[in-house]
Structure 1
């Protein structure tokens, strides 16, 4: 929840006039619907949407994910991963897409994706599905001037990656500030021909 996100609360306290935090649950359609209504009433348009929600697991300490092998796949965890990593972001994009159409500027939608070698079945499957959804949405929403792309952030020093950072080379573990600035640079540089594509933090195209 927003109240438990310490870094988010720090940003909110630093920029109270510029930042508004609203609750959103990727498994709860009612919160997506409520967010759509709130933004329509207060902002009336969406210039940029970043779908950054994602779950991976903690290496088996409290969750079944990420799975190291096929025999470790848990049905409930797979369903939850798909709900958070693909179904929620797609439904959020659907809800807010009419507000992108009325923007005075080209709207941009980004989906964060990360991939590594071996295992992690639920995470990989859900992110692959999200990439395909991004490509398909890119073809449709391009007609209304909305550009959509999938972004590979690299391994970033966040709560998601903390259980697995011991296996990451120091120079390949990016600070949050570096990742955010790099991805924003990529988003600022895109045009209509990039929509539906998959790019890394340096702006390099990645094959689906």
Structure 2
């Protein structure tokens, strides 16, 4: 089976001297070598090559330009919207964002820009992170969309500080119901997304060359989930659930790493969204990031990830955080 990465690496030095349109047309001569693929797969192949050529000069990545399809769970939230926007800007052919509520004005604006026309690049699907049937249904819809190509990237971004919006300051404030809800959103849901979506990453790993970026599953965690870094206490449910999420990441990395799928956790920093707004006054101005800035750093980290990052925990700037 021909490997897209091989063809592109061999031909881009020559094709880069041409216009994108001319280069893509020249590649048509190679289509007979992939005649065993379906018409849709050949179309995706050509689109991927075109994206690589068009982003070759602009890309700041040290490796192959990003390509293929990314799935962003909670893609219609504040940070999720910014991540979707950055993925589209950085060269992903298609981005699928999940939502559990009517689109916000910001997400609708993104949909209006990328989600219409013949070559729509942004899609949306309903997914409730606390309902496994909803997660399974979303995975089936995504599978129907990506087909044999699978997914290059899955980002699981759901997060909850506390059902009330404010973390517990004392063990006396902890309740069973609050802990169950927090764990459902911050950890259990992530495990179920991995259960239903990881086969699409494994499918992709079987179609890429060893020298290509591996498919990636990225859990949006938080530094506060680091056991080694806990010096302040408090926020029991949030700390516990994020620590459990990090254990999920580590365990998944052992299983999926054997299938050439890279799994890691990331800390996005303190992002200026509704999630963190109650605590803005306690955050130094230089440590409060606009969502677009955090997303830019996170997507760069994800795009440059190799199997070296498998099973690890990183901050937005690429520095490693101890478990």
TM-score bracket for this pair, using the shorter chain length: over 0.9
CA-atom RMSD, angstroms? 1.5
Structure (1 or 2) with the larger CA radius of gyration? 2
The equivalent residue for 1:78 is 179
The equivalent residue for 1:90 is 191
CA–CA distance in structure 2, aligned partners of residues 85 and 149 of structure 1:
15
The equivalent residue for 2:132 is 29
CA contact (8 A) 2:129 2:158 kept: yes
Q: CA deviation at 1:64?
A: 6.8
SS in structure 1 of the partner of residue 102 of structure 2: helix
Whether 2:241 is the aligned partner of 1:126: answer yes
The equivalent residue for 2:250 is 135
Q: CA deviation at 1:38?
A: 0.4
CA–CA distance in structure 2, aligned partners of residues 99 and 4 of structure 1:
26
Whether 2:200 is the aligned partner of 1:99: answer yes
The equivalent residue for 2:219 is 111
SS in structure 2 of the partner of residue 90 of structure 1: helix
CA contact (8 A) 2:191 2:248 kept: yes
CA–CA distance in structure 2, aligned partners of residues 31 and 8 of structure 1:
21
CA contact (8 A) 1:113 1:150 kept: yes
SS in structure 2 of the partner of residue 22 of structure 1: strand
The equivalent residue for 1:52 is 157
Which consecutive unaligned segments of at least 5 residues does structure 2 have?
A: 1-99, 209-213, 225-231
Match of 1:144 among 240, 245, 259: 259
The equivalent residue for 2:315 is 200
CA–CA distance in structure 2, aligned partners of residues 115 and 166 of structure 1:
19
Normalised to the residue count of structure 1, the TM-score between the two structures is 0.93
SS in structure 2 of the partner of residue 151 of structure 1: strand
The equivalent residue for 1:41 is 144
Go from structure 1 to structure 2 and tell me whether the alpha carbon gap of 1:56 and 1:195 turns closer, same or farther (over 3 Å shift): same
Q: CA deviation at 1:13?
A: 1.7
The equivalent residue for 2:108 is 9
CA contact (8 A) 1:65 1:122 kept: no
Q: CA deviation at 1:113?
A: 1.5
Whether 2:272 is the aligned partner of 1:157: answer yes
CA–CA distance in structure 1, aligned partners of residues 272 and 187 of structure 2:
22
Q: CA deviation at 1:190?
A: 1.8
Q: CA deviation at 1:8?
A: 2.0
Q: Does 163-172 or 49-58 show the bigger shift?
A: 49-58
CA–CA distance in structure 2, aligned partners of residues 14 and 169 of structure 1:
34
CA–CA distance in structure 2, aligned partners of residues 57 and 85 of structure 1:
10
Query: Which digits, 9 at most, give the CA deviation of each residue in 1:49-91, with x for residues without a partner?
Result: 1110011137xxxx17411111111210100010111000111
CA–CA distance in structure 1, aligned partners of residues 284 and 186 of structure 2:
26
CA contact (8 A) 2:269 2:316 kept: yes
CA–CA distance in structure 2, aligned partners of residues 64 and 43 of structure 1:
37
